[in-house]
Chain A
């Protein structure tokens, strides 16, 4: 089959690789019809995530048609259209039983689980196409993918619904929903969202749906701020305004009730030195990303809530622990428990309560995936979301 493979920093290629096979009873094979490039794929593209190997197939936001199921699969049928959650979860362990699917204890193969145990104290769950820390599973920027525990994850999509409308149930929509849920929104609340990438934009919509009185969006890309405004947010351009002053003024001196860091940090690494060096290097940049989390904590009102859907991998310094403690903030974070939200969010999408297609700026054949990565990396203002279509032939 054809697949987008990683070979090093800013080096991704569409190549022919072997087709995946059913190897475990609860596997399924999916023929992929739509597959997106995620903001977090750029961390791989920029080679900030350790444990990548040359030849890894990327992609963790994908959907398609079931073409084969293992002997342990009863409900899922060949021919069904499904969206695949990026988190691979068994559905049976301590964590899955508590709907903490992103903590699944059984989906990261034993050979790779030890690495994240060293980094974080306990082994992390498996995920598609996202380094060998999360298992080394092949991703979905390909013609086919093997989906483990296919009786738990895949979201069956009714006929007649466009791929583009439901594709983001795989990651960024539930991520935005959980980011808003972690704000524990109460009537009258103002929620401030740092970062108007795809996750931030979904967080804005979800916060309003969850009852926020007002959402304030912070970014510097005019096109992304325009999308945030269209969704109903008050926007603050951090290149033109002092963010903390603007937030204090907009909230009558109280401060936002909840603050969301939908920016994340590119500093990932296994060793303290590695991460620390990277953080120090980043301090010199204009878009200093550790700055976002500090600002989130400093801007939040006393007794407020901080929600962190943005991806972090290692350590940070100059962490404002005093502001966090003295103001009595509640911090909630985590990779998304996608499977927990699938049914509810699918229904909301089908009922047109959430707009899911507004952010797609590019639709490209899989053969042009390399160009998709380049656009998403280098032209961030105009490139809000790239969706690849493996069944489309390349346009030359």
Chain B
């Protein structure tokens, strides 16, 4: 066991976080235009094993990641993510790069995809028994064309805002068992 302070991001994650750290809070689409690297941390007040375990099962992702419609698990290392809107779907073949129980998951889209997407989640105990700190680092690269346009088409909003919202939804789900909504008309009637 190394003497790494609890809750401190690793050097890699800290580096990855430098770009988004310039922006306080969610970022507007004009700031986003060409960026392809997203980093963000959230504290979830649940044990590390529970938080890791829920996320490690990728079939859970559509519950809180709004850009992902469905995940089909191929084998222990591979899955198919169906991304985008019903009339404009993409299929991402993804591969687990590394999975360290209760500590780290990283994945990437397989070679040959138009979009190279890599994601990494690190899980640490929050100080003072406050649960688990998740640090997400996501990157997107495209072979030709503008990455922002493709992502905007898939997600219908900028991917940094998407990551912020997805992590909030994940926290809500883990802490309360549900995802807060005021979507009209059922959850919030309006004229």
Within 8 A of A (CB), among B100-135: 130-131
CB distance from B185 to the nearest CB of A (A): 4
Q: Determine which residue in B24, B175, B177, B180 has the highest number of CB atoms from chain A within 10 A of its CB, and name it.
A: B180
Instruction: From A19-27, A158-166, A207-215, A235-243, give the one contacting chain B.
Output: A19-27
Residues of B within 8 A of A136 (CB): 182, 188
Q: Residue-by-residue, is A88-129 near B (CB-CB < 8 Å gives 1, otherwise 0)?
A: 001011100100000001111111111001100101001000
CB distance from A187 to the nearest CB of B (A): 36
Residues of B within 8 A of A3 (CB): 189, 191
Knowing A26-B178, A109-B181 are in contact, say whether A93-B45 is a contact too (CB < 8 A).
Answer: yes
Instruction: From B6-14, B78-86, B141-149, B162-170, give the one contacting chain A.
Output: B162-170
Contact status A113-B168, CB under 8 Å:
yes
Knowing A94-B43, A108-B180, A109-B180 are in contact, say whether A138-B25 is a contact too (CB < 8 A).
Answer: no
Assembly CA distance A24 to B175 (angstroms): 14
Assembly CA distance A92 to B172 (angstroms): 10
CB distance from B21 to the nearest CB of A (A): 14
At the interface, yes or no: A57 with Cβ under 8 Å from chain B? yes
Among A24, A54, A146, contact of B178 (Cβ-Cβ < 8 Å): A24
Contact status B190-A106, CB under 8 Å:
no
CB distance from B42 to the nearest CB of A (A): 10
At the interface, yes or no: A360 with Cβ under 8 Å from chain B? no
At the interface, yes or no: B33 with Cβ under 8 Å from chain A? no
Assembly CA distance A125 to B131 (angstroms): 20
Within 8 A of A (CB), among B60-117: none
Among A17, A20, A90, A118, contact of B25 (Cβ-Cβ < 8 Å): A118
Residues of A within 8 A of B164 (CB): 110, 114
Contact status A146-B188, CB under 8 Å:
yes
Q: Determine which residue in B25, B165, B169, B188 has the highest number of CB atoms from chain A within 10 A of its CB, and name it.
A: B188
Interface of A is mostly: loop
Contact status A110-B180, CB under 8 Å:
yes
Residues of A within 8 A of B180 (CB): 24, 106-110, 126, 135, 148
Sort chain A's interface into a size bin. Answer: 35 or more
CB distance from A64 to the nearest CB of B (A): 15
Q: Determine which residue in A72, A97, A138 has the highest number of CB atoms from chain B within 10 A of its CB, and name it.
A: A138
At the interface, yes or no: B150 with Cβ under 8 Å from chain A? no
Query: Which single residue of chain B is at the shortest CB-CB distance from A144?
Result: B189
Contact status A94-B190, CB under 8 Å:
no
Contact status A110-B172, CB under 8 Å:
yes
Contact status A137-B25, CB under 8 Å:
no
Residues of B within 8 A of A17 (CB): 185, 189-191
At the interface, yes or no: B15 with Cβ under 8 Å from chain A? no
Knowing A26-B177, A110-B180 are in contact, say whether A18-B185 is a contact too (CB < 8 A).
Answer: yes
Contact status A138-B189, CB under 8 Å:
yes
* 24 A–B contacts from the bound complex (CB under 8 Å): A13-B191, A20-B186, A23-B181, A23-B187, A24-B180, A53-B190, A57-B188, A57-B189, A57-B190, A57-B191, A93-B175, A94-B45, A106-B172, A106-B176, A107-B180, A109-B179, A109-B180, A113-B165, A118-B24, A118-B26, A123-B168, A126-B180, A126-B182, A149-B176
User: Residues on B close to A: CB < 8 A?
Assistant: 24-26, 43, 45, 130-131, 161, 164-166, 168-169, 171-172, 175-191
Listed from nearest, the 8 A-B pairs whose CB atoms lie closest are A114-B26, A55-B191, A110-B168, A110-B165, A138-B188, A21-B186, A18-B185, A5-B191
Known: A20-B186, A23-B181. 17 other contacts (CB 8 A): A1-B189, A7-B191, A17-B185, A20-B189, A54-B191, A55-B190, A57-B189, A72-B177, A107-B180, A109-B183, A110-B168, A110-B179, A112-B182, A114-B161, A118-B26, A136-B188, A149-B176
